[in-house]
Amino acid sequence: MRLGRAVLLATLWLLPVGATFADEYARLVTDPPALTAATLDRLNLTQSWRIKLPMDSRANGIALVQPLRDRLYVQMTSGSLVVLDASNGRYLWAASVGVPYTNIFPIAETDAYVYQVNGTRLYCYNRANGVLFFEMDMGSTPIVGPAARDNEVFVCLGDNSIYKLRLPVRGVLKQSTYRNGRKQSSQPEDLPLSPESRSPRFVGSNPIGGPTQFDSYTRPTRMRTIGSGSEGENKSPSLAVLPSLRPPYTVDTGSRTESIVILESLRQPYLPPRKGTRTPSIAVIPPSIARAETLNDIRGTNYGADKVWKYASPRRVTSSPLLTEIYLFAPITSTGALENEGRMIALTLDERVLDFSIDLDGQVPSALSRYGDTAYTSTLNAQTYAMEMNTGRILWRQPGGPYPEKPVASDRELFLGGHGIGIARLNRTTGETMWSFPLAGSIRAINPKFVYAANNRGKLFILDRNRSVGSIGVDLASLEIGQFPVPVVNEYDDRLYLAANDGTIISLHDRTYLDPVRLAPPPPVEAAPKKDAEAPMDAEPKKDDN
């Protein structure tokens, strides 16, 4: 007993000031073994994939893993961003910018862009391939992750300011058809100026919802007769300029060989037409080495973003804001540690007008959760709120907690968690507590039958989602995950992710659900939502013997 107490005191002495056991546990470097077939069978789980990301040193590790839609965004402690396909773990793209080993904040994404903050800079990537679209110095350090919609992004800084930025737009034709060899166009439409819009990818490979096919058009070939010596033959002109490298990427030149070839900039889709082994008679030679390197640079042009407005908040924003069609909804609190109050503010997106605010009983320690236009949060004074973001109306207020972990909202429930406090399942509509479980502290994943929750001591619990004994949730099985200290919370679907600081990431799912199951599908349009069908109960994890 004395030896164990001495080891514990020594461990606490080594912790840096302000660090918690959970923080230090998440930084452990481990070499996790493979999960055995017997373990997976006992838990009724299937391993979808397992990868190991390369690490440049033992100081590097996984800082944050975000499952968003069909992507898995992995941020390293060194500041690198790695993007994986969530369905199979396939590497998509990576970016390494900014200051290494600094604060890590959640990223934001739209259908076309991914936004990341690092140091005092904001970075915008093409979501399809990771090309850096722009970077911008904000003049102060961001304190929370950005929020984005369409071609707009909102950034909250440490000087209590909130910026709205807009990506540049240009006129892009909605439709174009060819009639009798001539292009017929409709009215222009403003769209974000991105590498994809500048030069769309070839047919069938656009993963961001753009056009899947382009107008078919064959450029007519004109037969020329030049001179009298070889009348009727196809001649090779002395000077030719290739047309634009855009869809449908067809260049009909017959058997002609150009004396001079001028190519456009080698940017997306990186598919200059191949002319076999033909060599032009004249090539353009850059005037200097610097100019040659500029011509060889195939990266996207850094266009930047326009600052639309700036709002000076009276207090500091504590977590990433939420966006509706009308408002920016964000929690603010006093910078003083002893002041025990919080507030929600709603700014109009177009005019930065503070339309209303909601006073809360206590500070907001975690990020907001949402379902539709309803926001959920829990305060340090053990109060949980459900608020309509477009009206400012408090739908319900429920005591309990405090739950410092980010709430997880589904179509039926709201799950709360806090290490040392436990987790709770609430009715999302009324706020009524359905059951609680004191041994776990954070939600990891949820499917129609089970809830996967973990504590900060390296143990994963599998709970029955729909049953309880009195007010306590039913513990069906457990798994030691001490070798996977990096917490991954999946708020999007039912996939369970385990991560370690050596770069290992594992994707698991219940065998009943081969395809991903959305945790919070979009709210129904009708006033009366349909009744959920009962989940199949044909397979369950086996109860632990101990």
Tell me the two tokens of residue 243. 């047309």
Burial 189-199 (b: 16+ CB within 10 A, else e): eebbbbbbebb
Look at the chain and count its residues: 546
pLDDT at 362: 87
Does some domain include residue 242?
no
* CA distance linking residue 307 with residue 352, whole number of Å: 13
**Is 34 a domain residue?**
yes
Using one digit for the tens of pLDDT, what is the confidence trace for 379-431?
A: 988 999 999 999 999 999 999 888 999 999 998 999 999 998 999 999 999 99
CB atoms under 10 Å from CB of 50, counted, come to 15
Give domain status of residue 424, yes or no. Answer: yes
Query: Does the residue 504 lie in any domain?
Result: yes
> Do 397 and 506 reside in the same domain of the chain?
no
Output the domain CATH number for residue 336: 2.40.10.480
Same domain, 419 and 543: yes
Instruction: Report the pLDDT value the prediction gives residue 401, as an integer from 0 to 100.
Output: 82
Range of the domain at 391: 324-366+368-404
399 and 411 both lie in a single domain: no
The structure tokens listed for 1 are: 């007993």
Are residues 336 and 384 both part of a single domain?
yes
300 within a domain of the structure (yes/no)? no
Task: Say whether both 372 and 468 belong to one domain.
Answer: no
The neighbouring-strand residues paired with 173 are 188
Res. 171 pLDDT band, cuts 50 70 90: very low
Percent of the chain with pLDDT over 90: 55
Domain presence at residue 12: yes
Mean pLDDT of 71-79: 95
Amino acid 295: pLDDT:
58
Number of domains composing the chain: 2
Same domain? For 385 and 414 the reply is: no
Q: What is the pTM of this model?
A: 0.72
- Supply the pLDDT for residue 28: 79
Residue 353 and residue 418 share a domain: no
Helix, coil or strand: residue 184: strand
The string of DSSP codes covering 339-371 is ---EEEEEEETTT--EEEEEEESS---S--EEE
> Mean pLDDT score of the chain, rounded to an integer?
78
252 domain residue, yes or no: no
pLDDT tens by residue, 241-259: 455 555 555 555 555 555 5
Q: SS3 for 143?
A: coil
- Residue 250's pLDDT is what? 54
